[in-house]
Structure 1
């Protein structure tokens, strides 16, 4: 596959805060990526730099093999939609879509009209007077109808209710199937987007801690449940991401795929195995990383 974005050693500092810390990854064409992580992890910072709306402190970014900063041909091939999107003071939804139609060469008006109807968007109402959900719909419509070669969705759909978010997911997948392009979805609603994304990028405290195909990630961890002593014996020597105990029953999430012998031993010991969803895995990984960082800091202060 063709690489459309290359990031090498990307670092962004704001005084004493490191928003992106030596980030390196690449993005392939015609793939849906999930850029996942907690609030403040660095997702928006990375997307802003990739779309030349922010500057890196150090490192390199190449989009279609070029530096995107002040590069109109490259920027015209990308669409960046974010929750805090700004519009002119007196703009209506109709104005916003008309401007987008002029900017994006692959704009599809038929798709835009269909999405306006799907989201029941009042086109003549000022954007400032729209509800949060309606403002989110404006961004989602632009992002999908642009059919840009690379589209970034930085959580613009969080203002949508559950029904509207499902419409967004359905339309995205439907149009992507017919018109493949590269899409980066930033989201906290990991389980909702898990079936959409083909590759996972997890960023935590400014660092990439996971970069893998979604299918490969699903079996990366398991939760072992049962008698606490038997559970502890089984997980000994394994990397434990999370542990809960209630009386004599323990539930322990461990990192690493289970082998056939592992599952045979678990059955012999009367222990249960529960799958770990993508959201659970990412939550456990980021919690685990935070606990390790806290332990390192505490040790350094002693």
Structure 2
């Protein structure tokens, strides 16, 4: 499903959560939606899922607005970090309700995941630990098989082993049946290798949209004597540079091999660090 974001703006009284954002998500991929707290990520996901309206601009999914559009909303599943389900419902009732809502629901997968995460079907949501409630959200998100599945910090309370299992299952299901997955997280180092395309928001504006492989191949940290590094990075786009005791490290858009040919040390920049550097800059990418 094609997602077109056109001049999207969302205001809450005097606060601008999204500021004239435009981009397109054209094909099923795993998209990493990154940014600091308050960048506008959750607001964007709420508009995309049809929960709220934009103040200006629009989101179109295959040419239609998702707000108040059941044909579209039953093809979109948004799992937030908490409060996804009514507290008095039992786990089995939550799963039954969602199985009715999503035409693509995979009951066999849901049953397997209930066993995997050791969930008690008769337990009420309000009695679940934070980790168990996150597990329930993960089960719904994966079993929905929704063509657009959105995970917004979906694993609060899960330990590292449980998160790793989630990533493995997510990738297995994605490889079996491609869908558009929008994944927002602060644990970027854990999941960045899953991302096929990365979007970074800063203070409500889009500062970067790039294929993850190109981002990894075309950004690097170059280190060496200050004079040599300064000469090499002349006329290159610089993300950040630091000096220490006669040496300089510059984070740039450039090729590692080119830097090596100039006798400089070069290494890739992890996507988490790149996001930090980009969102520290006043003008973004």
- TM bracket (short chain): over 0.9
SS in 2 for 1:111: helix
Whole-angstrom distance in 1 between the partners of 2:198 and 2:270: 13
Q: Within 5 A, what are the aligned runs for 1:170-185? A: 170-185=168-183
Q: Within 5 A, what are the aligned runs for 1:34-45? A: 34-45=32-43
2:267 is matched with: 274
2:260 to 255, 260, 263: 263
- String of CA shifts for 1:74-129, please: whole Å, max 9, x gaps: 11111111112342231122221121111111111111111112212222222122
Whole-angstrom distance in 1 between the partners of 2:53 and 2:234: 46
Larger mean CA deviation between 224-233 and 8-17 belongs to 224-233
C-alpha contact (below 8 Å) 2:30/2:196 kept by paired residues:
yes
SS in 2 for 1:105: coil
SS in 1 for 2:67: coil
Whole-angstrom distance in 2 between the partners of 1:254 and 1:213: 17
Q: Which has the larger radius of gyration?
A: 1
1:74 is matched with: 72
2:153 to 152, 155, 160: 155
Point out where structure 2 has 5 or more consecutive residues left out of the alignment: none
SS in 1 for 2:210: strand
SS in 2 for 1:54: coil
Larger mean CA deviation between 201-210 and 246-255 belongs to 246-255
C-alpha contact (below 8 Å) 2:34/2:186 kept by paired residues:
yes
Whole-angstrom distance in 2 between the partners of 1:254 and 1:30: 29
Structure 1 residue 160: Cα displacement: 1.6
Q: How many aligned positions are there?
A: 284
Point out where structure 1 has 5 or more consecutive residues left out of the alignment: 294-302
Structure 1 residue 209: Cα displacement: 1.2
Q: Within 5 A, what are the aligned runs for 1:58-207? A: 58-207=56-205
If the length of structure 1 is used for normalisation, what is the TM-score? 0.88
Q: Within 5 A, what are the aligned runs for 1:213-228? A: 213-228=211-226
1:297 is matched with: none
2:48 is matched with: 50
Distance 1:48 1:13, change over 3 A: same
SS in 1 for 2:5: strand
C-alpha contact (below 8 Å) 1:64/1:74 kept by paired residues:
no
SS in 1 for 2:52: coil
Structure 1 residue 259: Cα displacement: 6.1
Whole-angstrom distance in 2 between the partners of 1:235 and 1:216: 19
1:298 is matched with: none
Task: Please say if 1:28 is aligned against 2:26.
Answer: yes
C-alpha contact (below 8 Å) 1:28/1:182 kept by paired residues:
no
Structure 1 residue 49: Cα displacement: 0.6
